[in-house]
């Protein structure tokens, strides 16, 4: 029998009960796949991160991510949460570590700031699928509870990935965004046909220091709504640059993306996109985190 440590972390916020909750098991060596899946189902967060010892000299830590129903290759808020736990447990200085995750080996910056930490992760390679048209376009719009009048005409509906793909859907109104009632069963039915599980609806209709506000639905993998999604806001940054929806200069583009307002869990994702010849090259997402509780599990 071994005692495993369980953390509940709220990511992309420094305020408890806001942002996106993730489970973290920092000493996951020894757990089987089925045990990790069972723990993720029990904690019932959108994702739980399992921190494992490195398997080779080319990375410092190995992390696996499970939703309540399946393993996923990458997760933004659970990455922030996992490295926040590592930082506070080990009292790390400002440093860069390399993590092995399902999409490869990528750097994560640990930034110590006033006895707390900010975590910045580099996401995977950027890919853009063909823009949706015709019946599939219309089915996605209808399943989300939208009409063509709601759409931002500048924003094509398209799958974009920085390691874990999302369908990006731009709309005109924050009021419409915050009152959406999508048909989750229909979205789950569409997902296998388009080979993408997440639907990220966003708008530029915002207040304050944020550029975008969004909501993300992924019912096909057991996530009715994800409060704050690094693997949606990151691809959004690449998409904004790719389609020239923002003013950019050669070098980099950065912005803050807000999410979770409609469900009372507001969080903010810091996104930075490096640009090469006017095109997005790499994406980083970052944010803060806070511990909600710590527990022990004997297995």
Q: What is the enclosing helix (H) or strand (E) of 93?
A: none
Contact 257, 233 (CB under 8 A): yes
User: How many whole angstroms separate alpha carbon 35 and alpha carbon 209?
Assistant: 42
CA R_g for the chain: 18
Tokens of 174: 């924050």
**Core vs surface per residue 220-241: b (16+ CB within 10 A) or e:** bbbbebbbbbbbbbbbbbbbbb
How far out from the chain centre does Cα 110 lie?
18
User: How many whole angstroms separate alpha carbon 221 and alpha carbon 218?
Assistant: 6
Question: Would you give the DSSP letter of residue 1?
Answer: -
Q: Which residues are catalytic?
A: 47
């Amino acid at each position: 029998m071994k005692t495993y440590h369980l953390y509940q972390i709220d990511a992309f916020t420094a305020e408890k009960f806001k942002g996106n909750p993730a489970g973290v098991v920092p000493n996951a060596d020894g757990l089987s796949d089925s045990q990790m899946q069972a723990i993720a189902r029990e904690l019932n967060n959108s994702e739980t991160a399992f921190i494992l010892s490195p398997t080779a000299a080319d990375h410092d830590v190995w992390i696996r991510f499970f939703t309540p129903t399946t393993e996923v290759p990458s997760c933004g808020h659970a990455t922030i949460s996992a490295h926040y736990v590592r930082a506070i447990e080990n009292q790390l200085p400002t440093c860069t570590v390399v993590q092995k995750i399902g999409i490869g080996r990528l750097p994560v910056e640990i930034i110590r700031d006033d006895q707390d930490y900010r975590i910045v992760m580099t996401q995977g390679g950027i890919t853009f699928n063909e823009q949706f048209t015709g019946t599939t376009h219309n089915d996605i719009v209808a399943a989300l509870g939208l009409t063509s009048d709601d759409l931002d005409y500048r924003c094509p509906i398209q799958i974009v990935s920085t390691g874990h793909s999302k369908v990006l859907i731009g709309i005109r109104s924050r009021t419409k965004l915050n009152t959406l009632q999508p048909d989750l069963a229909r979205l789950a039915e569409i997902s296998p046909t388009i080979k993408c599980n997440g639907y990220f609806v966003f708008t530029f209709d915002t207040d304050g220091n944020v550029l975008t506000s969004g909501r993300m639905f992924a019912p096909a993998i057991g996530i009715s709504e994800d409060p704050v999604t690094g693997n949606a806001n990151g691809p959004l940054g690449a998409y904004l640059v790719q389609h020239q929806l923002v003013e950019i200069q050669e070098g980099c583009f950065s912005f803050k993306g807000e999410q979770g307002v409609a469900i009372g869990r507001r969080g903010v994702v810091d996104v930075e996109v490096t640009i090469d010849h006017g095109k997005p090259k790499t994406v980083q997402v970052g944010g803060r985190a806070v511990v909600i509780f710590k527990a022990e599990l004997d297995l």
